Amino acid sequence: MFARMMHAWQRWRVTWYPERFQGWGKTRRYFEGWYFKLVSPDEGTALAVIPGIAFDENGEGHSFVQVLDGRRNTAAYHRFPVEAFQPSKDQFALQLGQNSFSRTAMQLDLPDLKGAIQLSQSVPWPVRPFSPGIMGWYAFVPFMECYHGIVSMDSVLQGNLTLQGKDVPFDGGRGYLEKDWGRSFPSSWIWMQSNHFSQNREEASEGGLETRGEGRREGGLENRGEGRREGELETHGEGKREGGIQEHNQISSQHGALSGTQFEGQSGVQQGVSFKASVARIPWLGNAFVGFIGGLWVGGKLYRFTTYTGAKLTKVAVHDGHVEICIQDRTHRLTVHAVRSDGAELVSPVQGLMAGRVSESMSARLRIRLTLHNGAVVFEGEGRNAGLEVAGPYQELLT
């Protein structure tokens, strides 16, 4: 009885620290995992490293480290006993066998991946008393199928890894870190993320994606200022303007040197810009609804678009080669056009059991456009090295 009470207290205490381990005392139908995205400065290597733990309905469990190679489009699942999973109670720090993970460092000792990475200048999602992270007040609901957390929208990497016998330097690379915990991933979802945005409009046209005002063509998709038709994404060619940004669901951060700044990084990356969005079917009191969470970090501000902030999901469309999402709130309109690419299959949780499968790409491309309702462009850019998942019967998400 005492142990259960202590575990319940610990779970309540860490609600305001979503980056920490949340599953104290959970040993049935439970999973928890962290997603580290690592991209080398030359962008020749893109990895997702996912440590975690999972228990099925009978209490049988194991810990694991998944590794997705986003250039080779391969994935590996390294299994460990439950006892190897050693999280800290007082901070985000995890020891898993000879591997260790935290917000600021990673040490890897896997068969084909070894080395150490330092992560700095992180940009966490803000935590407030009644909105502890990206889940908002839903974080307090005890029966959610899956919870989500953003540990860092953007990080600067230092260190070296040995990948399949080849040394890969990561000094000046870019990182992103999020996590999930609960019983299962949703029955269907769309997830996308990039923090590699081109530093100007001309550079964004590399790879055949033209972004000037006179039009854009990508595999036959043409976008012009005179309107939007099926298969097209409306652009007005007005260019980027910094004025008119309103204080609505946007948060300035004081974390790290990225606060309020943008500076040129390697490979033409505009540092200080990061985007993440997901749309999913959420079970709720015997029914279900389509929920969404999204954030654009730019110019030292976080623009939030979520179900609980009153934003509206106005379009979700999935095609063979691309995905479109449009969200708006009372002051802003966010439009996303994602170009799909090949990926690899990751293992995902179903009732705690790591028995699901989902294909994830790490080489998709995202076209982001944030405007005020009067048409003024707050931000427009193209993100590369983008993670993209379209999973399950996604038709139930379409608008």
3-state secondary structure 300-350: CEEEEEEHHHCCEEEEEEECCCEEEEEEECCCEEEEEEEECCCCEEEEEEE
- What residues pair up with 113 in beta bridges, in sequence order? 110, 163
Residue 81: CB atoms within 10 A of its CB come to: 10
Domain residue ranges in the chain? 30-208+242-397
**Averaged pLDDT for residues 95-124:** 97
What pLDDT was estimated at residue 270? 58
What pLDDT was estimated at residue 269? 57
When mean pLDDT is compared across 41-50, 69-78, 208-217, 350-359, the lowest value belongs to 208-217
pLDDT tens profile 151-180: 999 999 999 999 999 999 999 999 999 999
3-state SS string over 259-303?
CCCCCECHHHEECCCEEEEEEEEEEECCEEEEEEEEEEEECCEEE
pTM of the model: 0.84
Residue 93: CB atoms within 10 A of its CB come to: 17
224 pLDDT exceeds 70? no
Helix, strand, coil percentages (3-state) for the chain, rounded to 5, are 10, 55, 35
Nearest to 386 by CA among 209, 231, 216, 258: 209
For residues 314 and 335, give the distance between their C-alpha atoms in angstroms, rounded to a whole number. 10
What pLDDT was estimated at residue 227? 37
**Averaged pLDDT for residues 237-262:** 36
Question: Percent of the chain, pLDDT > 70?
Answer: 82
What pLDDT was estimated at residue 4? 84
b/e burial code for range 346-384 (CB count within 10 A of at least 16 → b): bbbbbbbbbeeebebbbbbbbbbbbbbeeeebbbbbbbb
> CA angle at residue 153 from 148 to 154, to 5 degrees?
150
Q: What are the CB-based long-range contacts (under 8 Å, 24+) for 222-227? A: none
Residue 397: CB atoms within 10 A of its CB come to: 24
Mean pLDDT score of the chain = 86
Alpha carbon 174 to chain centroid, angstroms: 13
- What residues pair up with 212 in beta bridges, in sequence order? none
- Residue of higher predicted confidence among 163 and 204: 163
**Averaged pLDDT for residues 357-380:** 97
Residue type (1 letter), 25 = G
242: left (phi over 0), alpha (psi -120 to 50) or beta: alpha
Task: Please list, in sequence order, all residues whose beta carbon lies within 8 angstroms of the beta carbon of residue 284, skipping any fewer than 6 positions away.
Answer: none
Structure token pair of residue 185: 């991933």
Three-state secondary structure call for residue 136 = helix
CATH dotted code for 30-208+242-397 = 2.40.370.10
Q: Which helix (H) or strand (E) holds 5?
A: helix 2-13
- Secondary structure (DSSP) of 197-220: BBSSTTGGGGGG---STT-EEETT
